[in-house]
Homo-oligomer: A and B are copies of this chain.
């Protein structure tokens, strides 16, 4: 439900400008990510799943937590990726209900190439900044959104 909050704290002009800039930058960044994923016939969600599984394999339910999606949604995502040979399901030996998921070598390679290609696709923008500016921007973004690892793309 829409929690209407008519007495929200008013935002300064500078705050609004920053929010607009962040939203705009995010849309551009996501568009690059989506396009890069599509070049490999992957959705953004599939690419995120590969990125997560590259760092840590685990149970279906853990995957659901990381991606913030329902378990039934994960079943479908894993189905399609498994059919493409990108990952494999294995029954959890300790819990008869559990199913673990791990990338195949093909999946690992695709995740790696995807990450590399995203970086290349974004680099024309990031290269605009000097070394000092880049470091400053990273520091500001981490102040706002938390340091490395707080979120899993």
* Min CB gap A128→B, angstroms: 5
Return A130 CB to nearest CB of chain B, in Å: 10
From 94 to 139 in chain A, residues with beta carbon under 8 angstroms from any chain B beta carbon are 113, 116-120, 122-123, 125-129, 131, 133-138
Interface size class of chain A, counting residues whose CB lies under 8 Å from the partner chain: 35 or more
Is A5 located at the chain interface by the 8 A CB criterion?
A: yes
B2 touches A113 (CB 8 A): yes
Alpha-carbon distance A150/B24, docked complex (angstroms): 9
CB pair B134 A15 closer than 8 Å: yes
Closest CB in chain B relative to A104 CB, distance in Å: 17
Main secondary structure of the interface of A (DSSP, over half): helix
Listed stretches A29-37, A54-62, A76-84, A85-93; interface member: A29-37
Residue pair B26, A138 in contact (C-beta under 8 Å): no
Please give me the 7 A-B residue pairs with the lowest Cβ-Cβ distance, nearest first. Answer: A26-B26, A26-B29, A21-B141, A18-B134, A125-B144, A21-B138, A8-B120
B residues within 8 A CB of A2? 39-40, 113, 117
Report which residue of A8, A19, A40, A131 has the largest number of chain B beta carbons within 10 angstroms of its beta carbon: A19
Docked Cα-Cα span, A131 to B136, in Å, equals 15
